[in-house]
Amino acid sequence: MTAAGRTQQEPTSTFQIDRSLQTLAGRAAAWSQLPLAARIEHLRTILRRTAEVGPDLVRAAGAAKGGGFEGEDWVGGVAIQGRTVRALLATLEGIGSGGRVPIDAADVSVRPDGRVVVEVTPMDRWDRLLFPGWRGEIWMEEGVSLDDLDANLGSFYTKGGVSRPGVAAVLGAGNVASITPLDALHMLFVEGKATIVKFNPVNDYIGPYFERVFGDLIEEGFVRSCYGGAEVGEYLAFHPMVDQVHVTGSAATHDAIVFGPGSEGAAAKARHEPRLTKTITSELGNVSPVIVVPGEWKERDLRFQAEHLATQMKQNEGFNCNAAKVIVLHEGWGQKEAFLAALRRELGALAGRPAYYPGAFERWESFVASHPDVEFLGPIGDGIIPATLLVGLDPSAHHLAFSQESFCAVSATTELGGDDAAEFLGRAVAFCNERLDGTLNATIIIDPVTAAEAGEAVDAAVDGLRYGAIGVNIWGGALYALGTTVWGGYPGAALADIGSGIGFVHNGRLVDHPQKSVVWAPFRQFPKPPWFVTHRNTNTAMRRFAEFETDPGPLTLARVALASLRG
C-alpha cells in the first residue's frame, strides 16, 4: 500500500519484460521507417484519447494525493500532454506539406555572438489569445548558423531518419502525471525509438490510462509498459535489447543506475568509470532560483508577484523539480519587507494538503534543522507540511538549501547588493551559476520601468544564466508546460557531474541543437492566471483549459476565459 492508502501495481516479471523487449526490438526498424502520415494519425489518436481519459485520470490522481486540488492534475496530467501533442502534430503536418519544419523567417533572429534564436511561442492563433504578450524562444547552440538552420531542424524527419532503429527505456517520474507520457512521446516522435516505459511506484496509477492513450502503438508493437521499483529499473537499464535509457528523477537515482549504489558506486563515480555505458539522457532536480529585481511596485504588483511566487513554491505541494527554492532579493530594496509580508500572507492563507510524496517529512525536518531563522506559514500536522521559509541565508556561506533540492514546500531567501538593478542582476547571475546546485530552470521578476532603465543588463542576465529554461516574469517551470519550448538541464553536464541532466525533452518544434529556452511575459497579467494556487476557481478553469488544449476552438476558449475571470 502507498502512503495514500491505495494499492500499487504488481511489479512486472522479468519474463514479461523480456517478451516486451523482444517485441520492441523486432518492431524498432518498422517504427523508424513508419510513414509520416501514419505517425500523424497516431498523434491524432493520442490527442483524442488524452481527452477521453482525462476525467478518470484526474480522479485517480486526487485519490492518491488527496482531493480538492484537481486543477493541478487537469493541467499537469491532461492539458500539458494535449499541448505537446498538438505542437508535434503541427510540426509533422508542416513537414508533410512543405518538406521542412514550419518555422518562418520572421520567427528567426541572430544574437550578436552569432547564436540563432527561434521563436516557438505563440505556436498558433489560439496562443495569442490565451497568452497575450508572451514570447517563447529556443536559443540554439553555438555553431548553428542562419544559413544551415534548416539542416538543424527535425533531422529525424527531414534527413530520412538519422537515428539508428532501437529501443529506449523511460524510467518514469513519480510526481506529475504528464512527465512519463511526454518522455515516451519524445523518444517515439523526436528520437524515433520504440519505447518501453516503467512507471514510478509513487504514481503508477497513471499506467492504465497511458496504456489506453497509447493503445494503438502498443497493439502495433511499438510501445510497452511495465511496473516496479528500483530492481525493475535496473533490469531495464542494463538489458541488452535496450539501446537508450532516459531517467527523470534525482541525481542520486541517476548515479545509482550509472555508477552503482553505495560506496562502490561513489568510488566508480570518482574514477569516472560508469558501469552503464549505453546512451543515457536525463532530467533531474534543481535548486531553482527566483531573482526579484528591485523596482518601485504598486500595491497590486506586490500582491500579484507574491501570488506568483507562492504558486512556484506550493503548486503540487512543492513536489516539482522546478519549484522555487531560493528567492534572491536586493538587500537595499525599499519594498523588500512589503513584498515578503505579501508572500507570507498568501502562503499563510492557503489550505493545508497532504504531503503525499515519500520522504517529504524527513527532508523537511533536515532543512528546518539546517538554519536558525525558520518561518512556518499555514497549517501543520496530520500529514501536512506548512510552507516553510528559511530566511536570510548568507549568500557566501555553504547552506543545505543551496546544495540540495528539498522536494517539498521549503524555500529560502538570500540577499545581494548592487548599486542599481543592472549591477544586482549581474551579481545574481553569478550567484545562481556558482552557488546553487542544478541547471534546470530559473526565473527573473522585473517590472517594465526597471527593465528599461537596466537596458542591456536584462538580456545579459538571460544570456549569462546557465539554465536550460529561463522565465522572465513567468515561472521558469511554465516552460515545461508549453510543448514548444525544450525542457532539460543546460548543456555541458557529464555523467560524473550530472547536475540537472543531459539532453532535452518535449521539443514540439524539433529543434536539433538547443542550448536553452526563454519565455518573456508581461510583469502583471489579467485575468489572474488560473494555474495560480490562489485562484478561487482553479479546478474548473484548469478543466476547461485541458478541454481546450485537447480540442481547441472558439467555444472551448470562451469557457476557459469565463472560468478564469472568476478567480
Average pLDDT, rounded, for the chain: 96
Strand partners, 197: 170, 225
Q: What is the pLDDT of residues 191-246, one digit of tens each?
A: 999 999 999 999 999 999 999 999 999 999 999 999 999 999 999 999 999 999 99
What contacts 360, CB < 8 A, 6 or more positions away?
319, 385, 407, 408
Task: Give residue 567's pLDDT.
Answer: 82
Q: Angle at Cα 459 formed by Cα 453 and Cα 460, nearest 5°? A: 100
Closest by Cα among 210, 203, 131 to 479: 131
Task: Give residue 431's pLDDT.
Answer: 98
Q: Which residue shows C-alpha cell 552557488?
A: 435
Q: What is the pLDDT of residues 333-350, one digit of tens each?
A: 999 999 999 999 999 999
Q: What is the pLDDT of residues 87-100, one digit of tens each?
A: 999 999 999 998 89
Burial pattern 486-519, b for ≥16 Cβ within 10 A else e, equals bbbbbbebebeebbbbbbbbbbbbbbbbbbbbbb
CB atoms closer than 10 angstroms to residue 39: 20
For the chain, how big is the Rg over CA atoms in Å? 22
Cell of 542: 484548469
CA 50, 55, 61, 62: dihedral to nearest 10 degrees?
A: 160
Kindly state the percentage of the chain with pLDDT values over 70.
98
Question: What's the mean pLDDT in 419-424?
Answer: 98
CATH of domain 14-103+160-249: 3.40.605.10
Superfamily of domain 288-474: Aldehyde Dehydrogenase; Chain A, domain 2 (3.40.309.10)
Q: What is the pLDDT of residues 366-421, one digit of tens each?
A: 999 999 999 999 988 889 999 999 999 999 999 999 999 999 999 999 999 999 99
Cell of 92: 509533422
Cα(91)–Cα(481) distance, integer angstroms? 17
Task: Give residue 204's pLDDT.
Answer: 97
Split at pLDDT 50, 70, 90, the class of 1 is: very low
Task: Give residue 169's pLDDT.
Answer: 98
Cell of 533: 494556487
Residue 161 has pLDDT above 70, yes or no: no
Cα(199)–Cα(437) distance, integer angstroms? 27
Task: Give residue 164's pLDDT.
Answer: 78
Residue 184 has pLDDT above 80, yes or no: yes
Task: Give residue 382's pLDDT.
Answer: 86
Task: Give residue 8's pLDDT.
Answer: 85
Please provide the distance, in angstroms rounded to a whole number, between the alpha carbons at the two ends of the chain.
Answer: 37
Question: What's the mean pLDDT in 447-456?
Answer: 97
Split at pLDDT 50, 70, 90, the class of 4 is: very low
Residue 546's φ and ψ, nearest 5 degrees, are -65, -40
Q: What is the pLDDT of residues 478-512, one digit of tens each?
A: 999 999 999 999 999 999 999 999 999 999 999 99
Task: Give residue 158's pLDDT.
Answer: 85
User: What residue segments make up the domains of the chain, in order of their start?
Assistant: 14-103+160-249, 288-474, 535-567
Cell of 239: 538489458
Task: Give residue 6's pLDDT.
Answer: 62
